[in-house]
Amino acid sequence: MSRSADHERRLGEAKVMAGLLADRMMAAYVVGGRPTEAEIRALCRAVLLLEEHAVPLPAFAEDVIGRLAAQDEADASPPPAPAPPARRTSALGRVLRPLRARLAA
């Protein structure tokens, strides 16, 4: 077997394994789970290898990568600040409000 044929065979195997992994990860999303860190790393490595050699990505690989990117963005954004508890304003608070506004400015 020539070196280039062996190389192509290995890339084909990498594509098949990436496809199986993407299918498994998509199934995890469908049932409401999340893929493991090991699965995420393995898929990212496989996708980078396939892109480096201009091999088309498996069917669900792009969908899974999109979901991972969305998760990263959601995890990176801070949660919205909770609303301050509603309090009744006392008469003293209403009187001091303009003074507090001036001090804050």
- What is the distance, to the nearest Å, from the Cα of residue 88 to the centroid of all Cα atoms in its chain? 42
The arithmetic mean of pLDDT across residues 97-104, rounded, is: 67
For 3, the 3-state DSSP assignment is helix
pLDDT surpasses 90 at 19: yes
Provide the pLDDT confidence category of residue 18 given band limits of 50, 70 and 90: very high
The residue extents of the domains of the chain are: 3-77
The pLDDT > 90 percentage for the chain reads 30
DSSP 7-59: HHHHHHHHHHHHHHHHHHHHHHHHTT----HHHHHHHHHHHHHHHHTTPPPPT
Answer yes or no: is pLDDT of 83 > 90: no
Is-contact 58 15, C-beta < 8 A?
A: yes
Q: Whole-prediction pTM value?
A: 0.64
